[in-house]
Structure 1
Amino acid sequence: MIVLGALVAAAAFFLQGPITSLMERFQPPEDYSGAGTGEVVFMINEGDGGETIAGNLEEQDIVASSEAFIDEVTSRSEQPIFYPGAYRMANQMSAEDALDALLDPENKLENTFVIQEGLWARDALANAAAATGIPIEELEAAASDPQALGLPAEATSVEGFLFPATYTFGPDVTADEVVQTLVDRSFQSLDEAGVAPEDRWETVIVASLIEREAGSEADAYKVSRVIRNRLDANQFPTQLLQFDSTVHYGTGDDTLVTTTDAERADASNPYNTYVHPGLPPGPIGNPGDVAIDAAQHPADGPWLYFVTVNLETGETVFSATFEEHEAAVQQFLRYLDENG
């Protein structure tokens, strides 16, 4: 009997973990009840999906578990749509109340705006003006002295240094505070990426090209290599980048994908990399973290050309020879014909 009792006790000990795990599988995830207490600000950033939002809610102790929030999302008859911005929430809310709060426009705080990767400075400042109510003229004036904001000596504008992110400001924020915050956030990203202050200017120019030209994160590192290869006179004697995105920046038209023969031949456009060798005179947009990293760590490869052959999927063909590139261009032209 003593031996039998010992065996039973041992079996119970070793089976306790599996039995507990099995029971937990059939129990609902941990959840709070009610609308919670206190007040916290919860941020939904551009690109955040349901799982990311759920994890962030749990991390801030707004919900008891990400699983409970996800279960609540999937139980709704209509799939909830989440918008970037700052939301007024509470501590320890039930998953149901937390989801309702995020879907209630009344809980979305004002003075919140998003700068997307690659956005031109003029449009970034326009977003800030629309969200904060600060006149665009005041924001432009605050951005008019790049060196006073800490930008490199070469900078003639804030282009490239208004970091892509979601921003929320108080009701009394000034134009100077808004612009300096965006610039400081750019410096923060560059510092975290290991970019030395003396290398900021060239890094941001290259990153801005990558941001405008790459169709995916993986392509960003290949585009970076194409830029480096083309700037190498031994590999590409003309050192012409031949990017449509730079031409567009010089013409001030951000709505087009291609360029005309006349635009590509226009030497009066200082950003026309079809006629002016080397890097353009400044950034052509505001790059994010991936583009900054790609600028510093180009992929290994012999590519000198690339072309996006499908505007819907972003599929891009990289080529080492002009003949390969011409075949890819024909593929792109067929895509344009077939898709109007």
Structure 2
Amino acid sequence: MIDELDVAFEEDAEPGDAKGGDRARKGRGRSAIALFLTLLLFAVLGGGVYFGYTKVAGFFVAADYDGLGTGPVEVTIPKSASITEIGNELVKADVVKSTKAFVEATEAEPRSKNIQSGTYVLRRQMAAKHAVTQLLDPNTRLSKGVTIPEGKTAKQTYDLLAKGTGIPAADFEAAAKDPAALGVPDWWFTRGDNKAVAKSAEGFLFPDTYEFDPKANATQILKAMVDRFLTVTGEVSFADEVQRNVRVSPYEALIVASLAQAEAGNAEDLPKVARVAYNRAYKKKMPLQFDVTTNYWLELNGKKAKHSGKLTEAEMNDPKNPYNSETVVGLPVGPINSPGRAALTGAMKPPDAPWLFFVAVDKEGRSAFAATDAEHEKNKQKACDNGIPLSDC
């Protein structure tokens, strides 16, 4: 082609020359061919550039579906999932065509940061922007979440789960009878003080906000809570740390964590209450005298908890109560509630102090700690002066 273009543009012959006329005519023909070939070349090059551009542009334009989608599909968004992780879940369910399209759609919608975990009814093959709209619509969310606060007993937890899921509390009680079936390792029920063990789910149902599958049964729900307990205790190395720092079994430390969770009025006092429990149970070999253990026994027997000052001698000294800490030395037979992460950490690393007593001294729940009776009496007087209703006031 280049040779022909070169020839085509050679100088034409003189007009009067016959042979030159022939050459002129041939030159004009070649010029036309050259022009045609040049235009063709530009067309091919232009088409190639356009084709290449569309191909390259395809790498930057996110693949997306059009419209509102087709059939319904349930999608569960995990707790604390990022926008990208949510997009991945939607791609798996064929709700959106690409994670990139979903991410771009959330960037265009400021409310996207409010997308919550849970199970949603969406539609397959939706445009990403419509998927975002649906995720922000509370009517598409099947599960609303169930929150179990720290310090709730297993019985209280079953009632909260029943209210949040519609599954009868009796189903949870039945499922909890076999902790091993829920995933609690048998080694957790080991004590170093040779005292009896209450093999139950109490203490292992970690307090948190859960998004359960709407189709989950009682056993599956409790398994999820036990799994969360094992995850958290694993993250803080609870079992290893309590044996290293406090020299007790993980189960005994779990009991202490539950006692601190019930007795402490704020997070700051959790490790301090744990220290009192360890000192009384192991160093001084004296009863804990924690009224919360009496109230726990009352609840197990279908009775209401009472303020400390209203507990009777018969209730506090009940010989049938395996959780008796008024007259029995050492820790009770098991945990009395579900302690949270802070309580577990407090029982794992309590401060080194000689405290044997504590009492709430203000209406914000702060406690004062003492190592002697005399110090404790001063703290009780301080509580009375601050309007705290003690039996001694």
Written as runs of structure 1 = structure 2, the 5 A alignment for 1:70-109 is 86=118, 106=139, 109=142
Which residue pairs with 2:372 in the alignment? 321
Which residue pairs with 1:219 in the alignment? 269
Counterpart among 144, 165, 179 of residue 132 in structure 1: 165
SS for the counterpart of 2:210 is strand
Letter of the aligned partner of 2:344 in structure 1?
A: I
Counterpart among 199, 210, 232 of residue 260 in structure 2: 210
- Taking the aligned partners of 1:172 and 1:320, their CA distance within structure 2 comes to 53
Which residue pairs with 2:176 in the alignment? 143
Shift of 1:134: 1.5
Shift of 1:331: 3.0
Residues 229 and 302 in structure 1, CA contact (< 8 A), matched pair in contact too = yes
- Taking the aligned partners of 2:325 and 2:365, their CA distance within structure 1 comes to 22
Which residue pairs with 1:289 in the alignment? 341
Alpha-carbon RMSD across the aligned residues, in angstroms, is 3.7
Shift of 1:215: 1.8
SS for the counterpart of 1:196 is helix
Shift of 1:192: 1.5
- Taking the aligned partners of 2:107 and 2:76, their CA distance within structure 1 comes to 15
SS for the counterpart of 2:238 is coil
- Taking the aligned partners of 1:337 and 1:163, their CA distance within structure 2 comes to 32
Which residue pairs with 2:28 in the alignment? none
Counterpart among 175, 200, 205 of residue 157 in structure 1: 200
- Taking the aligned partners of 1:147 and 1:170, their CA distance within structure 2 comes to 22
SS for the counterpart of 1:317 is strand
Which residue pairs with 2:278 in the alignment? 228
- Taking the aligned partners of 1:226 and 1:58, their CA distance within structure 2 comes to 47
Please say if 1:180 is aligned against 2:223: yes
- Give every structure 1 segment of 4 or more consecutive aligned residues whose post-TM-superposition deviation is greater than 6 Å: 37-40, 56-63, 87-93
Letter of the aligned partner of 1:165 in structure 2?
A: D
Letter of the aligned partner of 2:320 in structure 1?
A: S
Residues 88 and 108 in structure 1, CA contact (< 8 A), matched pair in contact too = yes
Letter of the aligned partner of 1:315 in structure 2?
A: R
Which residue pairs with 2:146 in the alignment? 113
Residues 273 and 280 in structure 1, CA contact (< 8 A), matched pair in contact too = yes
TM, length-normalised to structure 1: 0.67
Which residue pairs with 1:194 in the alignment? 237
Cα 1:161–1:42 shift into 2, 3 Å = closer
Letter of the aligned partner of 1:329 in structure 2?
A: K
- After TM superposition, the structure 1 stretch with the greater mean CA deviation from structure 2, 280-289 or 151-160, is 151-160
Residues 121 and 160 in structure 1, CA contact (< 8 A), matched pair in contact too = yes
Shift of 1:63: 6.3
TM, length-normalised to structure 2: 0.59
- Taking the aligned partners of 2:158 and 2:389, their CA distance within structure 1 comes to 37
Aligned length: 270
SS for the counterpart of 2:230 is helix
- Taking the aligned partners of 2:298 and 2:206, their CA distance within structure 1 comes to 23
- Taking the aligned partners of 2:142 and 2:250, their CA distance within structure 1 comes to 34
Structure 1 unmatched runs, 5+: 1-36, 45-55, 74-81
Letter of the aligned partner of 2:170 in structure 1?
A: E
Q: Percentage identity across aligned positions?
A: 36
- Taking the aligned partners of 1:271 and 1:323, their CA distance within structure 2 comes to 28
Which residue pairs with 1:279 in the alignment? 331
